[in-house]
A and B are shown apart, each in its own frame.
Chain A
């Protein structure tokens, strides 16, 4: 049943309004008021999004159409189960990231905070737009908005390094965005619609294999760049120059997940499993994902910079989602969708830990962090927990998703992928556990660290001898770590995200017919 309601639209525009307010008043009001705008918008948004969950669980969809945005296509929003998952993750984590941002940005005495919080709000607006978009054009509009809104965050420090990464980021995303645009226009001309439909609206055999494959690749390129599938991942490690909350946003909430979500929409809601399989696109996508998973793990092992190691870990994990989708089996699609959730919570925990360590102690290289756990026990414990979760250990969120993806691949009769998936889990252990071992290991550097922490503490927070991170950073870390634990034990806790993933996967295979 479709429920006509303005809620999805409100959920999108609320943070856009917040961004305008922040830009208008940001420099004239006290920072507390400005951050108040961010936080209240985040809370309202989350309430709006979560209030729609029960109806979607019951099999209904909210629908809202603004008007015809171009001849024949409407600017419309629809909350199907897949979009709901992404929206829940994004809006829930926005609150957490906002609190963390406030702690980080103030602790670090960052400049240009007004622009920072405004761009952040626009990013979230676009993300919710992406998750609720009812057709390709609406999707594309928000997708490009996300590209543009992330740019000021990437170049936040405004030095030469930031400028170079900004250029790189734009080069990758704008080029792929333009190709995506061409494909959307072509699909609209050929099929006369661009409305998302579970199971896809493109019939196999409607155009020649070559043309369909080209359309698919043009379209998937847009998603692949943001999801960091090799060889299109180049922008992602360089975007690490941004402040850590931005990295958290890029790598856990908005940008890379939007890329993965784009892959999901294109494969399952535009082409559909049947057409994707018919033109051989699923295999191409799967092999790229396999290569990315393996390569990124090996690169991650060699990185000493904590954020860089996490960046390559992200690249690998995102390809995990893409591989799950391209296996085209119901279980693996469920797993892939749930991995959007699991990875978001786990990776944001890791990034927030990295940022907290940096702000509190000034350390960014893993080799200098020996014995850190003594000084920052809670942060390091959360980091360890999330590391295990990324590797897919049972009782943690990562396990649920990975188990489902592997189950799907087994049922679909693709043992090679199963091997890759299992190997990838072990590889994730091999590059994250050493970090945890450094944290909890002995080191004669601990005196040095504590000295630095003291001076840093005095300089920024005024807490002489402060050990663990400031509460504004520590609380979000603990929350996300606990959530990933809870989701591991009870995947259906809270807004029933696992059920939503199952519903979405069922609707895709139901609509697609020939799915294994």
Chain B
């Protein structure tokens, strides 16, 4: 029984939240909070399972293969989990569970609409399912299906957000559809050349394909597809609005994790499927590198221009996604390890910062950094976490952001790509400007937060006297994000050497 259970963990990780997503609206009919609690508990169970799975992979040093329905590849769909996606699954399930917990005070506030609350949790759950699926699957078409699940739930969560949410969602829908179609087109080309959609099988059969133009076109389609989904410059158009206006409670998930998982998929395709000895690989990596460099500079410069907290964070994400792409463009061990590590660390940083943004909205309806003056006296824990997360974003040691940058810099120097090092430095300094500007406003600004401007602007209806820190359900995710940043920073070599090294070495 025990063994049976363990061997089915890969699929349980996707199926358990699926059950929760379906059960949630039904259970909400019985009792308004039952559906919500089910989702939170189920997601925490998934988190535990993902940890067990990762421990197994690290112990055995081998990837886990799971054949759905017992159909063997290349005919059936296969889940393949190695060190890289094992830890990404842990990341997604952890942040998913935390975000579900984080959302609960928001939805409590809306007592008149129990069904809306159930719908919210259901969609959030689908988002998590999609992300877990992309991370788990070893099948290119299956990946497309999960990508669509992510996109559809993303549209919903953005549309139910703030005033401009529906417009932002519509923009994302248009661009996102193009991205998904490009991806589909790309794997269509690969399928026509090889007759298979299983990733491992693709890798083997592609070696015998000598139709190089076709592979090049497929690669171009994939870059555009993933580029749109991960908001890589210049394909980022949908992202700032979507991240600024999405539902504040779901925004941490959307901004922190949703754009990282396509980056992981990019790694799968460009390092695990395509052979690195292909003649056009160098050009492809240079193109990714140029996109990354321009994106890092563009995102950091744009973030300087905004006053709206979410906009600053959104543009900073465009830059940070550039870091990840930069690591792929560097393409050696340190480059890839830096990129994957940055997927993890940036996910926690951005999620945590969006948690703080949602906390400010929840308490005081603050959208603009100008109104953050002296807010730290009211919300000391939230602001303390913000400081840690922001310092990590700048890339100051001993926080996680610095070590991602360290590995990227090592990789770039090994390859003699000094331009990339310069870009990393410039981007750090630019982000120091916009984050220290927030610190200045927060710690040195005029006091502005005694009372919220209008009751409809904020979510929490509690009394705003004395210390008005957010409720515990919100505080736990905020603090855990900050603690994870410290832990990831200090323990980065355990992740890079203990978990990522074997997998990355295999594909190089």
Contact = CB atoms under 8 A, between A and B. Distances in A.
Interface stretch (B70-78, B100-108, B209-217, B403-411): B403-411
B378 to A, nearest CB: 13
Interface in B403-421: 403, 405-407, 409-410, 413-414, 421
B496 A71 contact: yes
A185 B425 contact: no
A444 B444 CA distance: 42
Contact of B406 (A70, A163, A179): A70
Contact of A163 (B337, B398, B440): B440
B282 to A, nearest CB: 21
Contacts of A140: 397
A67 B493 CA distance: 9
B492 A148 contact: no
B443 interface: yes
A155 B403 CA distance: 28
Q: Is the interface of A mostly helix, strand, loop or mixed?
A: helix
A358 interface: no
A499 interface: no
B497 A68 contact: yes
- Interface size classification for chain B: 20 to 34
Interface of B: 334, 337, 384, 391, 396-398, 402-403, 405-407, 409-410, 413-414, 421-422, 425, 428-429, 432, 436, 440, 443-444, 490-493, 496-497
Nearest to B384: A23
A262 to B, nearest CB: 15
17 contacts: A68-B493, A68-B497, A69-B398, A70-B403, A70-B407, A71-B496, A137-B406, A140-B397, A144-B396, A144-B402, A145-B396, A148-B391, A159-B444, A163-B440, A181-B409, A185-B413, A185-B421
Interface stretch (A170-178, A334-342, A433-441): A170-178
B398 A145 contact: yes
B490 A182 contact: no
A69 B493 contact: yes
A152 B443 CA distance: 10
Interface residues of A, number: 33
B164 to A, nearest CB: 33
Nearest to A170: B436
Contact of A185 (B396, B398, B406): B406
Interface centre among B397, B402, B414, B496 (most CB of A within 10 A): B397
A514 B334 CA distance: 37
Interface string A138-159: 0011001101100010010011
A189 B413 contact: yes
B398 A178 contact: no
Interface centre among A145, A178, A188 (most CB of B within 10 A): A178
Given A175-B429, A178-B429, A185 B410 contact: yes
A186 interface: yes
A106 B491 CA distance: 41
B409 A182 contact: yes
A144 B493 contact: no
Contacts of B403: 69-70
Contacts of B413: 185-186, 189
A14 to B, nearest CB: 17
A23 B398 CA distance: 19
Instruction: Please list the 3 inter-chain residue pairs (A to B) with the smallest Cβ-Cβ separation, ordered nearest first.
Output: A141-B397, A68-B493, A185-B409
A158 B398 contact: no
Contacts of A68: 493, 497
Contacts of B429: 174-175, 178
A145 B493 contact: no
A155 B406 CA distance: 29
A69 B493 CA distance: 6
B471 to A, nearest CB: 20
Nearest to A182: B421
Given A178-B425, A185-B413, A186-B413, A70 B492 contact: yes
Contacts of B405: 181
Contacts of B436: 167, 170
Interface in A401-425: none
B333 to A, nearest CB: 9
Interface string A159-200: 100110011001000110011011001101100000000000
A79 B405 CA distance: 29
A71 B440 contact: no
A179 B492 contact: no
A133 B278 CA distance: 45
A189 B418 CA distance: 13
Nearest to B377: A27
B445 to A, nearest CB: 9
Given A141-B397, A186-B413, A189-B410, A178 B490 contact: no
Given A178-B425, A178-B428, A71 B497 contact: yes
Given A70-B406, A178-B425, 13 more contacts: A69-B403, A70-B493, A71-B496, A75-B490, A145-B398, A148-B391, A148-B396, A152-B443, A158-B443, A170-B432, A170-B436, A174-B432, A178-B428
A144 B410 CA distance: 19
A75 B398 CA distance: 11
Contacts of B422: 182
A181 B425 contact: yes
A144 B391 CA distance: 11
B351 to A, nearest CB: 23
